[in-house]
Structure 1
C-alpha cells in the first residue's frame, strides 16, 4: 500500500477484465498499477480503453514481483486460474479470482491451502450476489418470509459468441463451469444451503463446441430442498438468468413475489430494484464487489464471498458434468475433502 492506496493489478486483458479495471479506477483507495497478459496488444488495448498508463507485463511471475502490487485480479482463461491463484497467494497478494476458480476438483484443496496458508484475502467473481434483486431475494429467505424453502430452480441461458479457447472442455471446463456456475452459486446463496447431491444430463447442439453446450441437473441441498438447474450456451435468446424459489409461505419468480403475509394477494407483485438482466460486464456491479473486498482487506476480515465459500458451487458444476458422463448416475459432494463420489 502506497500513499493510502492499494496497488491493483489485472492479469488477463479480455472482456471481463474491463469490469475489474473500471471498479478499481472508481474506488478512492485503489490505484491500477499494472496490467498483464500474454499478449502485449491486449494490454495496450485496455490501457487505451481506460486512458491509463500502467506497468505492462507479459509474464505473471514478473507482475507478482512488482512490490507496488497488493491485489491481483485473475481474469485469464479458465484452465489457468488455479495455478495463478496459488502463485499470487504465495507471493503475498490478495486475490480476486474470476469464476470458475478451477475446472478440476483436485485443484481446489491446493488453492485453499495456498490462500489460507499465506494469510491473504480472497474474492471470487460471482457477481450476481451483488445485484440488488439477489440481495433482496436472499434477505427474504433469511428472514423467514418464504417459510421452509423446499425448491429452488435456476436457468442460465447465454448464447453469445465466445472466443476459441471456450470451444474445448479441457480449457473451459464445460457449460456449467464456464457460464452456468453463476446461477448455481446464486441458488445456494439465496437458499442458504450447500448442494450435496447431483444428477446431471447433457446434449450436443450445433458444431461449435467440442463438448455438450446444454446441461441440466436435478440437485438436493443440504437442508433438504430440491432444485432443477439448466444451462445453455447456444440458445436463440437474450441473456437469461432465472431464479425461482418455492417456500411454504411464499414464492419468488425473479422480480415477482407472492407472500402469505400479504392477505388477499391475488397475484404476484413486482419489485423493481433497478437490477439489469444483462450479460454485459459494464452492467454488472463490480464497483460494489470491489468496495466490499477492499473493506475486508482494510478490516482484516474474511469475505463471505471468498475462495472457500465458492468451492461448493464449483463442485456442484463438476458433479453435473461427471454425472452426465456417467449417464445420469447420482454424485455425492463432499465439501471438506473437495471430492465427488458416485453414489
Structure 2
C-alpha cells in the first residue's frame, strides 16, 4: 500500500501540485480542446485497429494479433496521463494525492515498458515471417502468440513495480511542486528528502535493460530482414517488404528517441524542463501517429476497413427499406 511517509515534524505530504503547464491558467480551454481532440483521435485510431483485426478473418494472423495488442497497450498508456491533464486544463486544479501520483507513475511506466517489449516481439515476428517463412506458421502458433503478449505484460509489471514502490517509501518533507504535467519517476525522485541515488540507479539500470535489450532485438531482426529483402528476385516483393519495414522502423525511431532522451540519465532529477517536451511527444504525438504509421497504411487493413464500411452502409440501407412507409 502506498502511503506518504511521516516527516520529522509529524506532518506528511498528502498531495503534489503538477505545474508542467504554466499556461494552463490562461489558455486552459484552448489546451483542453487541442489535447482532447488528440486523445480522442488516438483512441479511435487504435480502437479501430483492434475492432477490424478481430472482425475480419483475413487479419487473423500473428502480425495483426500483435498489432492489436500494441494498440490496446497504447490506449492504456495514453489514458494513464491524458485524462488527468485534461482535468487540469478544464478545472485549473493541479493537485493530485500522494497515492494517486505514485499510482499514475507506476501505470504509466508499466504500459510504457510493455510497449517496448511488444515492439521487440513485432520485430521478431517480421523477422520470422520474412527470413524463416517455412518455419513461421509452426513457431508463431496461437499459443505462442498468447504467451509472448502475456510475457510482455509480466515483464513490464516486474521491471517497473520495484523502483516505483521503493521510491514511494522515501521520505518526502516538501516542497511538493512537480514541474511536470504528470507524475513520472524523475520529478518524484527530485522531490524526495531521502537519499535516492541507489533507487535512481536501479531505475536507470532497469530502464537501460528495457530500452536497449528491445532495441538490440529490433536491430538484429531488421538487419536480417534487410539482408533477406535485397536478395529477393522480384522488385515488387522487395518494395512491399521495404514498405512494411519502413513503417515499423519509423515507429521505433519515434518511441526510442523520446524515451532514451528522458530516461537514459543516472540522475533522474536533471533536465526536467527539456524532459517535459520529450514526454509530450511520447504521450500525445507518437500515440496519435502510431495507428497511421503502423497499420492504417497497410493494404490489407485498408481493404478490411473498406469492406467493413460497405457492410455498415448495406446494413443501414436494408434498415431504411425495412421501415414502414
With normalisation by structure 1, the TM-score equals 0.25
More helix by share: 2
More strand by share: 1
With normalisation by structure 2, the TM-score equals 0.26
